[in-house]
Structure 1
Amino acid sequence: MNSEGIVRPNDLQRLYADHHGWLQGWLRHQLGCAHNAADLAQDTFLRVLARDHDVATIREPRAYLHTIAKSLLVNHWRRRQIEQAYLDALALQPETLAPSPETRALIVETLLQVDALLARLPEKVRRAFLLSQLHGLTYVQIAGELGVSERMVKKYMAQAMLQCLTLMDDA
């Protein structure tokens, strides 16, 4: 990157040439799939490119790339876990109710957005929301489960609902 904050192509090319093979090999070992490893390796370098960082100043390039790739890997596994849970639930439905592939993709994307939203919530807020929405517990029951007052559960639910509205506005 020069003084104007622009990545110099030679620095990025050198980083890519020196470490792409290693990174892809590490990802292939983690995933057991060369295609997914290639995709995540490319995504890692795209993240490097998107960051405002002087590539030439990276002292430990493999550690730097490993950190980015590990984050992408966790996201990949989480996505697969959510997709599999959805497919398992879908398998329990009559075949006549099966959504189209496009609808399935939209539903999985929505589930991923909800998962990301829930991950941003504080622990007790998330638990209160899930106990209410998934388990159908009353606020009194949730208060007992979490060891807080019913008034606090109402505050937690208001926080969770505000996040849901924010997600809907962003969509």
Structure 2
Amino acid sequence: MDREEKDFILEKLMIDYGNELVRLAFTYVKDAEIAKDMVQNTFIKCYKSLDSFRFDAQIKTWLYRITINECKDYLKSWNYKMVHVKSFINETAKSILPSTEKTVLDKYKNEEIKDTIFSLPKVYREVVYLYYYNSLTTEEIANVLDVSVNTVKTRLRRAKQRLESMIEEAEVNE
């Protein structure tokens, strides 16, 4: 396949599937700009591998698989985890204006909950974070963490149990 042919095919694929792939990527990464980056990476990989594509499967399915793998790799990356942890910490640690007593107490309680969540073992902390703060489904979390859906459900249940007992214990000690 010559370069002109590959360029033509890639352009057609981008027109036909670009928006669809961005929506797919967005369901994983929950950020429009990052989703576009993931799709751009998909098309780069597609272009590089177009000569070896055997057309055993539909090209759409192949593009979906590449996009999903790109998103999973991104979600597993250290950079992604650090960016999200930092933004989570920044959001919860922003200083509050002393407006009312309730606002101050709510902020204090949120800080305590955040600290409690961060004290959980990593396997529980990551599912809590992905489920409650990233709003991923248990299926998406299973894909991201490369574990079964039942494992995710078990970890969520155990994390909730630990959090409940830790919060109750903190309230008793107050």
TM-score by shorter chain over 0.5: no
Q: TM-score, normalised by structure 2?
A: 0.41
